[in-house]
């Protein structure tokens, strides 16, 4: 029995580009992005008959990313860059019906030198990557998502875990005092693209950070990663009205108490064995509840 071609696409991945803007004031700005662009197009004949007529080569896809970067004369966000790339493919190539563009942005931060922000000096500000995805089709519809990847956070108290099922396979002890560390990966979708994508992103990130850590002096207690994850998502939805839903994954990166009875070392919430694996994996999606008509 012959198979049927039911889905196909092509594009380019891991296209790396840096864009610098030089202001009249002397201040300069940089974004470093990694781009993936995937095209849906009427190219069944390439798969079925080896006929490449009308195909947009992946080399062209790569060069289009650089072309659009050049077109961005004003500073832009990862979200705005993704939208413009997606639009370029659909508007330029008649056989392309939809483009999906993913952008990851590295955390370059302006360097402070002699107590002042340097005009053209930057340093890598952290581990996290800002992410964006734009989907644009030939009916003019834009679907936009944003997020963060590999955002490392940790607090040294105000976390515990009790009341769970304990059976013959359980070695984990209950506690109301532990370290809580994780690497946040979150992605949120917008019902409509925000007018100010930078503000929307910053509000979402502020929500995640403030709920995870709590008040700077006192913190906030986390009874489980699951509960804290849900509260973070809820606050993001409250603070960003255009946000339709948010998916978050929080691996529980364990710091294990160090006890060594033979040498008389007693654990006093001070020395931990830092681990990276195995780790717990907690993930959830929270969607805005719409009023019933």
As annotated, the active-site residues are 12, 58, 254
Structure tokens at 277: 């694996």
Q: Which residues contact 266 (CB under 8 A, 6 or more apart)?
A: 259
Residue 236 sits at φ, ψ, to 5 deg, of: -60, -40
In this structure, the number of other CB atoms found within 10 A of the CB of residue 86 comes to 27
Which residue has 């004003």 as its token pair?
74
Sheet holding 280-287, edge to edge: 10-22, 28-41, 96-105, 129-137, 142-155, 180-190, 243-252, 280-287
CA dist 202 → 21, 126, 217, 240, 244 (Å): 21, 16, 22, 10, 16
Structure tokens at 8: 């196909």
């Amino acid at each position: 029995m012959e198979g049927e071609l039911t889905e196909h696409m092509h594009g380019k991945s891991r296209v790396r580009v840096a864009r610098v803007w030089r202001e009249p004031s002397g201040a300069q700005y940089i974004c470093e992005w990694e781009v993936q662009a995937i095209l849906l197009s009427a190219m069944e004949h390439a798969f079925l008959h080896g006929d490449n007529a009308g195909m947009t080569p992946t080399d062209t896809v790569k060069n289009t990313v650089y072309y659009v970067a050049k077109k961005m004369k004003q500073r832009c966000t990862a979200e705005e860059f993704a939208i413009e790339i997606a639009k370029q493919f659909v508007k330029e190539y008649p056989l392309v019906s939809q483009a999906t563009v993913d952008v990851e942005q590295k955390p370059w931060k302006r360097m402070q030198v002699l107590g002042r922000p340097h005009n053209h000096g930057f340093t890598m500000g952290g581990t996290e990557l800002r992410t964006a995805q734009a989907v644009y089709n030939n009916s003019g519809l834009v679907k936009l998502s944003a997020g963060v990847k590999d955002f490392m956070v940790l607090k040294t108290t105000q976390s515990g875990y009790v009341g769970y099922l304990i059976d013959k396979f359980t070695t984990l002890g209950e506690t109301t005092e532990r370290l809580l560390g994780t690497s946040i990966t979150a992605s949120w979708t917008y019902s409509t693209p925000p007018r100010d994508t930078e503000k929307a992103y910053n509000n979402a990130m502020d929500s995640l950070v403030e709920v995870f850590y709590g008040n700077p002096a006192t913190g906030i207690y986390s009874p489980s990663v699951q509960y804290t994850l849900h509260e973070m998502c809820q606050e993001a939805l409250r603070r960003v009205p255009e946000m339709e839903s948010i998916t978050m994954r929080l691996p529980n990166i364990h710091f294990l108490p160090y006890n060594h009875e033979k040498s008389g070392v007693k654990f006093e919430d001070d020395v931990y064995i830092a681990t990276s694996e195995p780790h717990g994996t907690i993930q959830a999606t929270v969607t805005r509840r719409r009023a019933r008509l």
